[in-house]
Amino acid sequence: MLTDDGFLVVDAVHNGEDVLKVYKEKFPDIDLVTLDITMPKLDGISTLEKLLAFDKDAHVVMVTANDNTSVVRKAIALGAKNFIVKPLKPETVLSRIKSSVRK
């Protein structure tokens, strides 16, 4: 979906520790990170905190299967630029990504 709309997807990883590793390796050439709230090894909120501690200007969009407002509010308060609730709808994903990407 993202590549079809012209985005270059740098990597796809499946846990918070790998997100941090890839981000640091490719920094500063990443414009946006999507983080699932629920991930193995390091959850999305913890990963967001560590990512922003490394790069306070990181652009992060959180993804969640549960629209639990307290978790979404916490992520936004910490510095996430936006959130997407599953199931993923292409028009919502693209809209939220486009409005959140680092310019």
Could you tell me the pLDDT band of residue 78, with boundaries at 50, 70 and 90? very high
Mean pLDDT on 73-96: 92
39-77 pLDDT, tens digit per residue, is 999 999 999 999 999 999 999 999 988 777 888 889 999
Report DSSP state, residue 57.
T
Count of beta carbons in the 10 Å neighbourhood of residue 80:
23
Beta strands in 1-103 (DSSP E): 33-36, 60-64, 82-85
